[in-house]
Each structure stands twice: as C-alpha cells, then as structure tokens.
Amino acid sequence: MSGTNRPNTTLTRRSFLKAAGATAGTMGIAGAAGMLAADDWLAPTEAYAEPEERVAYTYHQAHCRGHCMLKCTVRDGRLCLIQPNDKAKEGLQTVCLKGLSEIQHVYSAERIQTPLKRVGERGANEFVAISWDEAMSYFAENVRKCWDAYGKQSVFVSIAMESEVASELGKLLSASMDTVGGIDVGYANGLAPIYGGAKRSGPLGAVSAFNGVTDWMNCKTLLFVGMNFIESSLTQTKPFFDAKDAGMHAIAIDPHYSTTATKCDEWIPIEPGTDAALFLGMITQVLDNGWYDEAYVSAHTSLPFLVSQADGSLLRDHAVDPAAAAPEDGAANPFLVWDDEAQAARPAADVESPALEGTFTVDGETYTTVLSLLKKNQQSYDTVWASKVTGIPADAIESLAERYATGGPACIAVGYGGNDKYGNADIAGHAAGLLAAITGNIGRAGGGVGYPGFGYGSAGLGAWPLAEDMKPSTLAVPAFELPYVDSPVKCFIGVGDQIQQRFADLNKLDEWVQGLDFIVYADVYHSTGAQYADLVLPICSRFESDEALGGVRSNKGQVMLRQQVLEPLFESKTDFAFERELARALGIDASLPKTNEERIVRMLDTAKDAKVAGITLEELQANQGVLPYRAPSAVPFSDGKVPTASGRFDVYFPDLVKFDQALPAYEAPEETGADSKLRDRFPLQLCQMRTRFHIHNQFCDAEWIRQYSTAALHLNPADMEQRGLSNGDTVEAFNDRGSFACPVVGDESVRPGSARIFEGEWSKFMNAGNIQNVTNPGISDRGRALLNGPVIPYNDTLVEVKKA
C-alpha cells in the first residue's frame, strides 16, 4: 500500500514555508518532525506561527441514533477540533466520545487507502494496490461476466446503514437487494400489523406506534424492555432525564443490570428470550382485574369483532375473495360486531356499543368476539405461569401490570436488541401491542409502544430519478439465507462490512463465500469483511468530499448538510463518486447526476413532505448546514385514523391462524429455552449487545476509544468461579458451530447463566475467531409468513466457556 496520496502533499506553499521557518519560540521543526515520525504523512500543524484555519459543518454517523451535527475546525489541512453545531435544534447540539475521537480516527491506520485487488487465497487477506481506473475496469468486467452467464439477479448488493447514496448502486445494476434482512424486525413483526405499519420501509414500517422520546414529558410510566437506551441512543437521552425530573416512573426489564437499568426507578431482571411470557402474564392480570379501557376497546380495536369458530376467520359483510388483487378494507367490506339491541351482526362503524364478549349464531354459524377468545386464550397464561417462564416473581408481574394499566399514560419502549433477536420476538411484539391496545395507550400523548424514535416522524427528501429500467431485481431468498440455500447469487457487493455484520454462523458463510464468482467490499475501514473480497475499495468518511458538498439528510426533525471538511484522504472517494465511476465503466451513467450538488438540490427541490418542502440549499448554507422541520408532528393515530384493514387497532391476526398465532401464543426460544437439550453441553446464553463506545463494527479500531473499550467476554463472577477463571484470562467461547477467544471479565451486572459481549468486534482484535462463528442462523417456518420475514436469532445462542 505504498505511493498513496499523502495529505502533506496538499500542504499549501504558504504553510510549508511557515513550517520551515518556524523558530524555537513556537515549536522547532525538528522537534515536530521527530514527534510525527511514526505517521509521517501528517502535516506538522504544531509548527506554525499563524495557522491556516477554517470551519465546516457535517453530520456524523446515524446508526447510533446520533446523527450529530458537527462543527469542524481544520487547521493547515488537518481536522483538529470537533464541536456540536450550535445552529442545530435545541437538545440536538450533541457530540459524544465517538464523534470527538474522529480527530484521530479519520486518520486511523486501518483506513483503506487505495483500491486493493486480492492476490492470495480468498480469506487470506493478501492484496496488491491498484488504481481506481484498474479497479473499475476489473469490477465492470466481473459484473458483465455474471450478467452474461447468469442474469442481473446474480449480482447481490448489500448495504450498510451508514453508507451514503449507495442504495442507488443496487438500482443502477438492477441487482438483487437486501429486502428481507432478518435484522431489527422481530418485535415489529408482531406490532406493525396491529397499527398497519407497512412492510419494512423503515425499521418498524412506515408508521410507528411510538410517540417519540420528546413525548416522554407526558408519560407517567415508562417500560424499557430489552432497550439499553442510555448506550444505544446516547446523544438523545436528555428527554429521558427531563421526563424523569418531571415525575415519570421508569422501569427497565432486562436480564442484566444495564446502564439504562441503573438510571431507572426499578430494574426487573428477566430470563432472556421470554418477554412474550411477561406481556402475556400482564394481559391476564389486566383482564382479570377489569383494568382495560372498555370505551377505547369498543371504539378503536378489533376486540369486538366476530371470529368464526369453524375456521378462525373474522366475520365480514361479504365473503373475502382469496384471489382478489388487493384485499378489501373495512369501508368496502365492513367487519361485523354483535349489536345487542338489534340481536344481529352489523358493521362495526354502525354500532355504538357492540357486545364485547359472547358467542353468537349468524346464518347458522357460531361466532365469538375476539375479546372472549382472548380471555379464553389467556387462561393458560396467568402470572404464576409467567413467573415460572420469566423468573420474575408473580407479585412483581402483578404490580407491574397494575402500574402500567392504572398509572398511565404509559409507554413501552422495546429494543431492537434483546428479545428482538429471538425467533419468538413477533409473539412478544403482538402481546406488547395488545397490552397497549386494551389499556388505551396507543394514539395517546405519553403512551405509545415500539422502538424509541426521536419523534418528528420521518420526512423523506426527494430522489434523483434514474433510468426506467434501473430497479432492483427480485430475489426469492431472504438475504441472510443466501449462504445456506440455493440461490442465483454469484457476485456479492458489500457496501460497508456486510459479511461480518449481516449473517450468523461465519464458518458456514465461509463455505458459501468460497463458491462465489466475485466479491467486492467498499468501506472506509479495513474491517473483517474485507478479508473475503476480490476487490476492496476505499470510501471516504463523512468529513471528506471531493466537492464542496457531500450529501444531505433528513432525520430527528432537521435537514442536514454534509459540507466538505477535508478533501478525500489517500485515494478514497465518496460513495457517490464511486458509483459514478462504476456506472461510467459499465457505460450506464447517462441518467446519473454529474455532481453531488446537482443531486442534493434535486432532493431538496422534489421533497413533497410539508415538513421539509421548500427548504433550499441556500437557506441551509446560510444556517451552518442545518434547518429544523417546518411543521410539527402529531402523536401517531391521535386523529383516530389507523391504516389497517379495519381502520382500528387490529389485534387479531387471521393470517396466522394456521400457526396458532391469531392471538399471541407463547413459544420458548429454540436453542436457549429452558427445555433445550443443548443446555447440558453449552450452558451459557450468549447475549450480544451495543456499547456507547462502538457502532457495531465501527470505532473498534479508534485508538482513543480503545482506551475505554476493547474486546471482552463478560461473565457473572459465580460463572467465572465455577470455571476457574480470573479477570483477564483469555477464554474460548464455543459451541457446535465454532468458537472465538478473547479476555474474560467478571461483572456483577451480568445475569448468571449468560455470557455477554459487544457485537461487531473485528476478528483482528480478538485473540482468535469471531463472535459470528458461534451465532445462531436458525429461522422458523412461521417466520417466513410474517410481515417482514424471519429474524436472525443472534441472542438465541448457547456456548460454553473455558480457559484458552
């Protein structure tokens, strides 16, 4: 990796002369040069009497929920100071230690400096440096080979959330794309059908039933369920503490004494993977005590609807045609309820107080209300049962249910980690949504259920119009099943480190990877996935751009601009520049914008959402690259409109009758469940979670961050003692799928019977192997029938641990 474009070659003549002429009064050039010998490409900024300084604004990473707007000071070509952008909205003038660490991290030794072509065996990590021109010809040649031999869907594009504009790459190549990703959809699979959330267009679908963290000011009781907010939403924790100061009672339900649990009023430890049982127990308690809101249930939910005893379908005005192109909604084909006065089944909209319970005969068939069926269903799920499954004392479940139902408005904030990464997460989501629905906590200020978003709704910007035929191909196989099933995919393009992050069971993955024709890795850092690639491409960080403008985004109630802070370091390019180069090499660049500025202006000009429409580039530039949304957001569903088939909260799922899940029915986790046979050999559940120090695999290499966080397996001291382990020992964690090794640390906050680790650690920072060597790729048949497909049950993983 020699001959790269070192930044000190871009030193201006003026600053060079100044550096050369510096005297002992400042810092001598000899001293500065000595200090900088280890990284000789750094400009010796310390040596200048009058530094050349400028300020520019950009946004930082988004996946940690931060997307902080940063004010960056560049001195003599080097990034030297990072502060929050003081024009950002109040409460969003944030930066965390990850942002501050960028002063060092953008210059990390792990940056990919130049395009690299594999020379050794796949996986051996041996490459030679090539030019961008060579890289693009090589890329285009291999894509064409795949197109000719197997068709366009043989090229698969997988994109990290952080990459910019790279989703266009999938369209550009008409490639197969990651539509069913198996990640962050577990709870949503059970929640979204209740409020009509669309199929994964955002994490919880197009609409969420979470009101936004700023609405916690109206909340009296907050449940964090498998949500370590203080670490995984670090820069947006202020609304939480403000609400607590205003009297909100917060409860963390978590197997471990998480950072969030330490900041809550109560911590309720729970057996991993059993959230559904807790919610089911709470529902029974609420129903038995009549704590549900009858008026709300009658008017806003499907609980009064009539279920056929024969086949579990809902009674409608006329029979549903299974072959119909689009399903009929409640306006075209009303859902019926029982009208006591008329002694007949009538459209829900026409009956003010429908029968909530009872069994009725309509046209000779027997029907029961959803509520009656629920009460029957719940007979198996009393609090004693829930206590056995969750390990939470029955009286604690009872008081929790009472507080939630009677101490509202109450909000349930669920995590994308925790139980979301279990095959039974949809059942937990269904039960959580049902609990919120019967207590009237959806569509109400201070209520809500779902993953905690910031609360300004999304406000999409426009898009650059590509040529008509530039659409992704459809892939019948869910992306994460690619390694394990037959598929047409022969070429894998990972934008961001997808091979390590988006699959489980890395050893199995390895076999698949060896059989592929061509693998590309386009990333900022040389992380684990790079080692499998045939071609590695250097993308630049959010601080760098070859043009004055690098991008535009809309998030957390603001439109944000990425200005050029630095010129691209080394030979790196923006995602946009890389895509344009590739399109040019393939001769398909005609419909692409010529510049990033052109693209940004178009995205702003064609934005339709009233919250962002009319915001111009000039206005953004005049306000340090950030502007607040123009219209406030309302509490979702507070207008009484729910985009489900019935227009109400649909808590009964007729499509899942065949899986016995029309109403939530408990299912234990497959691998880690109490009855699992594997428990004898691998007694520890492996919990993988986030840390405020990393974003998945990002910042693992950042030296300033490494002072605080390096790879370690955390065990309860009792489990350490049982295995004869001491703090700092190198241990091997293993199961039948594989193993990894790293230091072990005793930690009282870890639940006995679990081992805990921060996911995303690069292989090179482990003593051996990768966390992903042991993770569970298993998926269920029911999973395939769910709204967003099955989940990768990362946390449903058992291991044993021994001294390495």
Ligand X SMILES: Nc1nc2c(c(=O)[nH]1)N[C@H]1C(S)=C(S)[C@@H](COP(=O)(O)OP(=O)(O)OC[C@H]3O[C@@H](n4cnc5c(=O)[nH]c(N)nc54)[C@H](O)[C@@H]3O)O[C@H]1N2
Which of ligand X, Mo ion, none does residue 588 bind to, with CB < 5 to 8 Å depending on kind? Answer: none
The CA dihedral of 676, 682, 684, 689, to the nearest 10 degrees, is -90
Q: Is 504 helix (H, G, I), strand (E, B) or coil?
A: coil
User: x-or-dash pattern for Mo ion, window 144-183, by CB under 5 A?
Assistant: ----------------------------------------
Told to check if 538 binds ligand X by CB under 6 A, we report no
Strand partners, 159: 495
For residues 771 and 761, the answer to whether their CB atoms sit within 8 Å is: yes
Stretch (H or E) spanning 495: strand 491-495
Q: Which two tokens stand for residue 151?
A: 């068709």
- Minimum CB separation of residue 162 from ligand X in Å reads 4
Nearest approach in angstroms of CB 170 to ligand X is 13
Rounded CA gap, 760 and 699, in Å?
Answer: 10
The region of 132-140, 416-424, 557-565, 602-610 touching ligand X under the rule CB under 6 A is: 416-424
Distance of alpha carbon 734 from alpha carbon 720, whole angstroms: 16
Query: How far, in Å, CA of 637 to CA of 448, rounded?
Result: 10
143-151, 400-408, 722-730, 768-776 -> range binding ligand X (CB under 6 A) = 768-776
When binding is defined by CB under 6 A, the residue of 102, 162, 215, 544 that contacts ligand X is 162
Distance in angstroms (rounded) separating the CA atoms of residues 748 and 649: 42
From CA 491, how far away is CA 156, in angstroms rounded? Answer: 6
- 396: number of Cβ within 10 Å: 16
Given 524, 565, 642, 799, the residue binding ligand X (CB under 6 A)? 524
Are β-strands 713-715 and 739-746 bridged in parallel, bridged antiparallel, or unpaired? parallel
- Verify binding: residue 421, ligand X, rule CB under 6 A: yes
Q: Residue 457 in contact with residue 647, Cβ under 8 Å? A: no
Say whether the peptide bond before residue 334 is cis (omega within 30 degrees of 0).
no
Q: Taking contact as CB under 6 A, which single stretch among the options 27-35, 306-314, 516-524, 616-624 is the one that binds ligand X?
A: 516-524
What separation in angstroms does the CA of 311 have from each of 128, 316, 654?
A: 64, 14, 9
Is residue 78 close enough to count as binding ligand X by CB under 6 A?
no
Does 64 bind ligand X (CB under 6 A)? Our answer is yes
The interface partner of residue 418, options being Mo ion, ligand X, none and the CB cut-off 5 to 8 Å by kind, is ligand X
Report residue 225 as tokens. Answer: 């369920």
Distance, CA of 114 to CA of 4 (rounded, Å) = 7
Q: Contact, 403 vs 436, CB < 8 A? A: no
254 binds Mo ion (CB under 5 A): no
Residue 577 tokens, joined: 């520049």
Q: Is 694 in the site for ligand X (CB under 6 A)?
A: yes
Q: The sheet that has 558-563: what strands, in order across it? A: 549-555, 558-563, 626-628
CB 168 within 8 A of CB 160: no
| Residues 487, 484: Cα–Cα separation, whole Å | 9
Which contiguous run of DSSP H or E holds residue 563? strand 558-563
Amino acid (one-letter) located at 28: G
The least CB distance from residue 217 to ligand X, in Å, is 22
Q: Residue 294's closest CA among 244, 369, 391?
A: 369
Supply the minimum distance, in Å, between the C-beta of residue 96 and ligand X.
8
In the complex, the smallest distance separating the C-beta of residue 184 from Mo ion, rounded to whole angstroms, is 4
- Say if CB 415 and CB 225 are below 8 A apart: yes
Q: Give the residue with the Cβ less far from ligand X, 184 or 650.
A: 184
- Binding site partner of 494, from Mo ion, ligand X, none, Cβ cut-off 5-8 A by kind: none
243 close to 220: Cβ distance less than 8 angstroms: no
Q: Are 424 and 667 in contact (CB under 8 A)?
A: yes
Euclidean distance between CA atoms 775 and 505, whole angstroms: 5
Cα 642 to Cα 339, 538, 705, distances in angstroms? 23, 45, 45
By beta-carbon distance, which residue lies closest to Mo ion? 184
Minimum distance of Mo ion from residue 523's CB (angstroms): 18
Select from 162, 164, 184, 231 the one that contacts Mo ion (CB under 5 A): 184
694: closest CA among 602, 771, 804, 621?
Answer: 771
Among 369, 633, 698, 739, binds ligand X (CB under 6 A): 698
775 scored as a contact of ligand X (CB under 6 A): yes
Does 281 contact ligand X by CB under 6 A?
no
- Binding of ligand X at residue 794 (CB under 6 A)? yes
Separation between Cα atoms, residue 143 and residue 146, nearest integer Å: 5
Count residues near ligand X (CB under 6 A): 61
- The nearest distance, CB 205 to Mo ion, in angstroms, is 15
Q: Is 228 in the site for ligand X (CB under 6 A)?
A: yes
Task: Find the part of the chain contacting ligand X (CB under 6 A) among 171-179, 337-345, 581-589, 684-692.
Answer: 684-692
Instruction: State the minimum distance, in angstroms, from the CB of residue 428 to ligand X.
Output: 8
- By CB under 6 A, name the one of 418, 440, 453, 777 that touches ligand X: 418
Assess 76 for contact with Mo ion (CB under 5 A).
Answer: no
Q: Which does 527 bind (CB under 5 to 8 A by kind): Mo ion, ligand X, none?
A: ligand X
Restricting to residues 458-497, name those near ligand X by CB under 6 A.
Answer: 495-497
Candidate segments 139-147, 249-257, 555-563, 740-748, binder of ligand X by CB under 6 A: 249-257
**Cβ nearer to ligand X, comparing 447 with 793:** 793
Instruction: Tell me, by CB under 5 A, how many residues bind Mo ion.
Output: 2
Return d(Cα 644, Cα 8) in angstroms, integer: 59
Q: Per rule CB under 6 A, is residue 795 in the interface with ligand X?
A: yes
CB of 416 to Mo ion, least distance (A): 5
Tokens standing for residue 605: 């000009």
258 binds ligand X (CB under 6 A): yes
197 binds, among ligand X, Mo ion, none (CB under 5 to 8 A by kind): none
Q: Which residues contact 316 (CB under 8 A, 6 or more apart)?
A: 328, 333, 334, 335, 336
How far apart are alpha carbons 80 and 60 in whole angstroms? 16
Span near ligand X by CB under 6 A; candidates 7-15, 62-70, 479-487, 611-619: 62-70
Q: 351 vs 798, which CB is nearer to ligand X?
A: 798
Residue 516 sits in the site that holds ligand X (CB under 6 A): no
Q: CB of residue 676 vs ligand X: minimum separation in angstroms?
A: 15
Give me 654's structure tokens: 């007729």
* Structural contact between residues 83 and 501, judged by C-beta atoms closer than 8 angstroms: no
Closer residue to Mo ion, CB minimum distance, 188 or 261 = 188
* Closest distance to Mo ion from the beta carbon of 503 (Å): 14
For the bound state, the minimum distance from the C-beta of residue 164 to ligand X, rounded and expressed in Å, comes to 5
| Closer CB to ligand X, 71 or 696, in the complex | 696
Nearer to Mo ion, 184 or 254 (CB): 184
x/- track of binding to ligand X for residues 575-594 (CB under 6 A) = x-------------------
**What is the contact surface with ligand X in residues (CB under 6 A)?**
63-65, 160-164, 166, 183-184, 225-228, 231-232, 234, 253-256, 258, 270, 272-273, 275, 415-419, 421, 495-498, 501, 522-525, 527, 539, 575, 687-690, 692, 694-698, 759, 771-772, 775, 794-795
**What is the contact surface with Mo ion in residues (CB under 5 A)?**
184, 416
